Chain A
Amino acid sequence: MQWETVIGLEIHAQLTTRSKIFSGASTAFGAAPNTQACQVDLALPGVLPVLNRGAVERAIKFGLAIGARLNRTNVFARKNYFYPDLPKGYQISQFELPIVEGGSIDIQVGGAVKTIRLTRAHLEEDAGKSLHEDFHGMSGIDLNRAGTPLLEIVSEPDMRSAKEAVAYAKALHTLVTWIGICDGNMQEGSFRMDANVSVRPKGQAEFGTRREIKNLNSFRFLEQAIDYEVRWQIERIEDGHEIQQATVLFDPDTGETRMMRTKEDAHDYRYFPDPDLLPVKLDETLIADTQAHMPELPQARQARYKTEFGLSTYDAASLTSSRAMADYFEAVATALPKPDPKLAANWVMGDLTAALNKVEMDLDDSPITAPLLAKLLARIQDGTLSGKLAKQVFEVMWGEGGEPDAIIEARGLKQMSDSGELEAIIDEVLAANAKLVEEYRAGKEKAFNALVGRVMQATRGKANPAQVNELLRARLAG
């Protein structure tokens, strides 16, 4: 039987506010346990929450970016359950009236564009952390994270493969970091994914029973977990079992998912509107302002890179995978003396990205800034540097810093532009390689390439390869 996979994702994006969603404590990551938990976060008797406006502004920004409906009145509710890292015994979240409803985002898989619909996005507070090691049979509780603002982004079950799920998660990751509402740091848990996965016979209209894979913190794990889960579900069904609705965890060590709890022991969260917080009323001016200050979004930029710069879909997509990269690329492309977006794209996606990846560095920290790279590329455009020489200059700029012109000058890396000098070298090379010349004349094109190589060697790479080609052909023909 042919099976179809159905996936919906719930993604928790931690918002970039400096203080928590309902208290003034800091949200900075990595502080000593319980040093960033104030009396509100500790849920002391008598304390009350006050909504952080910054969290609301970020949710509005997200809603506008995905073309969603913003609920002008939205309501915080209490989700009640007991756990030691949930100090109040309830999580303040949104239930019946979330701030954002609807909207969509486009993804590309295998060259095809697909629109994924979003169900909703709501604001909520994070819980603290339970630490089960190092406490001699007891558990430690760290409430630094308690009260950190989250936007929970829920998709419709619109994805049909792990690849699509990953593409969606990446697109969302790009978007939330692009508009600056989330730092996207997955190691620190700023972007966490839950995947609802089910399978059904191809052609069947109803969904199968789903299982939810909780708390995936990398795109690779997301893909592995879904792939495993799909195989597992199909095998179960083909073996004559029924899938039970359940929550499962993915173990990266074994690559398997395992049961956490079934629907039977699911909580009744007893949601009700939080009487400590008034319904949130969205201000039209704030919405209009946010819209007016919205940066050009990734999809719009991709389209523009294709039409305005003539880049391929692949290049346009790669360059817009983060706002930092797109901004960098555009700064380089627009600074070139002669318009050549493809040259800028190749260097940004090629040498620069490779250098950054090698040392796991963020583009923002790159020692070679966009204006510096543009200066380097300008020297290619004016013939001062060959591509090969430019790479050498790039290496020096990366390793030691400095302006390209100064490096070219100091190291004598200037491309040979005097054709007389080059012709003399060519003559020497031809004289020293009579055999190759013979072979070329006998019709071996390979011999020509070898001769070009010898000339380049003799010039220590400083010759312009195009010029070498031209002069060499003329000389051999003569």
Chain B
Amino acid sequence: MPTPTLRFLSTLLAQGKASSVELCQDYLDRIRRLNPALNAFITVDPDRTLVEAVAADALRASGRGDVLTGVPIAHKDLFCTEGWLTTCGSRMLAGFVSPYDAHVIRQCKTMGMPSLGKTNMDEFAMGSSNETSHFGPVKNPWDHARVPGGSSGGSAACVAADMAPAATGSDTGGSIRQPAALCGITGLKPTYGMVSRYGMIAFASSLDQGGPMARTAEDCGLLLNVMAGFDERDSTSLQREKEDYTRDLDKPLAGLKIGLPREFFGEGLTGDIAKAVEEAITQYRRLGAETVEVGLPNSRLSVAAYYVLAPAEASSNLSRFDGVRYGYRTPDYTDLLDMYEKTRAEGFGEEVKRRILIGTYVLSHGYYDAYYIQAQKLRRLIASDFRAAFRDCDVILGPTTPGTAFRLGERIQDPVQMYLTDIYTIAVNLAGLPGMSLPCGFDGQGLPIGMQLIGDYFGEARILNVAHQYQRVTDWHQRRPEGL
């Protein structure tokens, strides 16, 4: 069977060779078989999925369907879904059923894309390995002893293991791109403001952005067409004309200028990744692209800036989880303060608490100027580096991660090592640019390697084009883990 891409499934449905119910049934069977070992899903509800599939088939039969009508999808468990559990990977929301749909969910429902379930994730999207989930870690389908990356680890693993043809993810510092790289799939973080954040449980509001995770660049484009668009309920949503992100997929790359940031190719990059990215560059030259060296001198400060700004926003965003109105509440307490303290102590995991503490500290009287304001200044410097670089090139290319999938438990006790996992991805969030990861090889242990393409603002169609042209002449994205 060919790679079950969204495009392929859409064709099957259009030609009447399969119904949405049949497709969903197949995926649900596979989930039933594989999920116990991989733990990619927190919630699966076959009855709900099939009800949505029946409706999708009817929509398609009525002639009012669109490309992806009937194609199933999995959703990261931070998108609020009416009637489904929405846990955000936390004990705090372990029993929370949202009374409303996130904008992204609504968009997918309107398209008639049945939901296969809610995918596992680092708690409140804070983590790079999926080990901070209250519901246990996700296993990397390529090696069950290794992490899938995070925070969208469940979404990446379920696509890599063919438990879903695509999934939604969210990316605050690399949470789509890093797990995409570690699981050998393709994932896109759009320009900040392209995808509404309404109903996407906030981690760091100024950095969070939802995006597609799938097998191919083309699929990411198709799914982004569904997810993106102005939403008046999100004040940071961009008011732009609706566009087709797949419109430029087939454009030849002759004359394309690829920027290679010297800071991304220095020390810290392991041999296999350096080699795979070099080979991809060679491939691009064969496709007619030119390369230019660019500088992103301030990008080395991005991890530091990020770990001030993201926790600051998170410390405030997570204040609503207080046990008063919904979610976890400690069973025994003596008064209000005791209730708050125990609820939050018991409801949040270690990493979330660490970041709330950091965030509270950097916003405190007397420290705000030294940390928060300084970090905002760095953020502007980082963004202006990119602006300067894009004067010399069309897209920027580099590795997505400094290493391939690491072992479960290997870094969880060492937050700083864990944070450095996102060293190449974080600057993109700070600048608000679109970035994607796509497979470009394997290391000596057979683990996937991802390369990152960064576009200028609103350059989604451009980087999807650049990625698609690469995927036309390579098959890394079609490789599947053995034994599944």
Asked if B2 is an interface residue, CB under 8 A from chain A, the answer is no
- A residues less than 8 Å from B88 (CB atoms): 45
Asked if A30 is an interface residue, CB under 8 A from chain B, the answer is no
Please, how many angstroms separate the alpha-carbon atoms of A46 and B93 in the complex?
A: 12
Asked if A50 is an interface residue, CB under 8 A from chain B, the answer is yes
**Closest Cβ–Cβ distance, residue A250 to chain B (whole Å):** 24
| Structural contact, B316 and A90, CB atoms closer than 8 A | yes
Q: Given A89-B316, A272-B316, A275-B313, does the pair A44, B205 have CB atoms closer than 8 Å?
A: no
B105-121 CB contacts (< 8 Å) to partner A? none
- A residues less than 8 Å from B318 (CB atoms): 89
Q: Given A89-B319, A141-B324, does the pair A272, B98 have CB atoms closer than 8 Å?
A: no
- A residues less than 8 Å from B340 (CB atoms): 82
Please, how many angstroms separate the alpha-carbon atoms of A275 and B102 in the complex?
A: 19
**Closest Cβ–Cβ distance, residue B325 to chain A (whole Å):** 6
Asked if B276 is an interface residue, CB under 8 A from chain A, the answer is no
**Of the residues A51, A84, A270, A278, contact of B316 by C-beta under 8 Å:** A270
| Structural contact, B93 and A45, CB atoms closer than 8 A | yes
- A residues less than 8 Å from B100 (CB atoms): 39, 44
Q: Given A44-B98, A90-B319, A272-B368, does the pair A50, B363 have CB atoms closer than 8 Å?
A: no
Chain A at the B interface: SS class? loop
| Structural contact, A272 and B198, CB atoms closer than 8 A | no
Q: Given A45-B88, A275-B206, A276-B236, does the pair A87, B199 have CB atoms closer than 8 Å?
A: no
Q: Given A39-B99, A45-B80, does the pair A84, B364 have CB atoms closer than 8 Å?
A: no
Asked if B454 is an interface residue, CB under 8 A from chain A, the answer is no
- B residues less than 8 Å from A141 (CB atoms): 324-325
**Of the residues B80, B206, B236, contact of A46 by C-beta under 8 Å:** B80
Asked if B326 is an interface residue, CB under 8 A from chain A, the answer is yes
| Structural contact, A47 and B363, CB atoms closer than 8 A | no
Asked if B71 is an interface residue, CB under 8 A from chain A, the answer is no
Chain B at the A interface: SS class? loop
Asked if B222 is an interface residue, CB under 8 A from chain A, the answer is no
Please, how many angstroms separate the alpha-carbon atoms of A103 and B88 in the complex?
A: 48
| Structural contact, A78 and B316, CB atoms closer than 8 A | yes
Please, how many angstroms separate the alpha-carbon atoms of A316 and B394 in the complex?
A: 71
| Structural contact, B235 and A46, CB atoms closer than 8 A | no
**Closest Cβ–Cβ distance, residue B306 to chain A (whole Å):** 14
**Closest Cβ–Cβ distance, residue B327 to chain A (whole Å):** 8
Chain A 85-96 interface 0/1 with B at a Cβ cutoff of 8 Å (1 = within): 001111000000
Please, how many angstroms separate the alpha-carbon atoms of A354 and B200 in the complex?
A: 59
- A residues less than 8 Å from B319 (CB atoms): 80, 82, 88-90
Asked if A131 is an interface residue, CB under 8 A from chain B, the answer is no
- B residues less than 8 Å from A270 (CB atoms): 315-316, 360, 363-365, 368
Please, how many angstroms separate the alpha-carbon atoms of A46 and B197 in the complex?
A: 8
Q: Which of A51, A141, A276 has the most CB of B within 10 A?
A: A276
Q: Given A44-B98, A89-B319, A278-B236, does the pair A84, B201 have CB atoms closer than 8 Å?
A: no
Chain A 48-66 interface 0/1 with B at a Cβ cutoff of 8 Å (1 = within): 1111000000000000000
**Closest Cβ–Cβ distance, residue B237 to chain A (whole Å):** 9
Please, how many angstroms separate the alpha-carbon atoms of A42 and B327 in the complex?
A: 13
- A residues less than 8 Å from B321 (CB atoms): 45
| Structural contact, B316 and A46, CB atoms closer than 8 A | no
Please, how many angstroms separate the alpha-carbon atoms of A269 and B298 in the complex?
A: 31
Asked if A105 is an interface residue, CB under 8 A from chain B, the answer is no
Asked if A283 is an interface residue, CB under 8 A from chain B, the answer is no
**Closest Cβ–Cβ distance, residue B196 to chain A (whole Å):** 9
Beta-carbon nearest neighbor of B309 in chain A: A275
Asked if B272 is an interface residue, CB under 8 A from chain A, the answer is no
Asked if A277 is an interface residue, CB under 8 A from chain B, the answer is yes
Excluding A84-B322, A272-B313, 7 further A-B contacts by CB distance (< 8 Å) are A44-B80, A45-B88, A50-B234, A88-B320, A89-B320, A270-B315, A278-B235
Task: Identify the A interface with B (CB < 8 A).
Answer: 39, 42-51, 78, 80, 82, 84, 87-90, 141, 268, 270-272, 275-278
A–B Cβ pairs within 8 angstroms, 10 of them: A42-B325, A44-B98, A45-B201, A47-B199, A49-B235, A84-B322, A87-B324, A89-B319, A90-B319, A275-B313
